[in-house]
Each structure stands twice: as C-alpha cells, then as structure tokens.
C-alpha cells in the first residue's frame, strides 16, 4: 500500500468499514459518506473486475457495464499488478454468482 494512502484518517475509515454489521448499515453509511455517483463508480469497477476474472473481452465489458476502456484497463492493471484487493474477493464473488445471492 502506498505510504501516501496509509495514514491515520484512512485507518479510521477502513476500521469503520470493517465494523459495519450488515448490508443495511453499509447502504446507510455509504449513502452518507459518498455521492451516489461515487458508489455507482465503485460498483461498476467491481463488476468490471468480476467480468475480467471470468475472461470476458473488453468489448463485452463495455457493453455490459458502460465502463470506458480506460476504466477497464485500470481495473485489469490492478488485477495483475495491484495490491490484491480485487483478487482477494474474487472467490466470494464467484460464490455469490453461483448461488444467485
């Protein structure tokens, strides 16, 4: 993790997110702390990561998500060279997709 990213305030944010107890509390917290556009952008990037993990081609991902090729490229770079944030949750996303939840 970048030294510029990891600080007292970011630690406080991460500890707060980890402490959220259920989906409803997550929705309420993120609605207050983020704009709807920011939440939608994060959700879109997560979906791009899921589709890349499945082996989808950029053209299909653009069509499915509306994400730009620049966003797709950035997510792909994170999947390959990042801090393993996306990769660490891919198994859970695959399970959710399989179970339909």
Which residue has 């305030």 as its token pair?
9
Q: Which residues of the chain are under the pLDDT cut of 50? A: none
Specify the DSSP class assigned to residue 7. S
Give the global pTM.
0.87
What was the pLDDT predicted at 12? Answer: 97
What was the pLDDT predicted at 73? Answer: 97
Torsion of CA 16, 18, 23, 25, to 10 degrees: -20
What was the pLDDT predicted at 34? Answer: 98
What was the pLDDT predicted at 101? Answer: 59
């Amino acid at each position: 993790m970048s030294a510029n990213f990891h600080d007292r305030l970011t630690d406080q944010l991460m500890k707060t997110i980890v402490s959220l107890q259920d989906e409803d509390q997550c929705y309420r917290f993120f609605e207050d702390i983020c704009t709807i556009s920011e939440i939608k952008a994060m959700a879109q990037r997560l979906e791009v990561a899921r589709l890349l993990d499945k082996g989808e081609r950029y053209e299909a991902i653009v069509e499915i998500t509306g994400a730009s090729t620049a966003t797709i490229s950035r997510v792909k770079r994170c999947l390959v060279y990042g801090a393993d944030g996306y990769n660490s949750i891919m198994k859970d996303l695959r399970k959710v997709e399989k179970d339909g939840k």
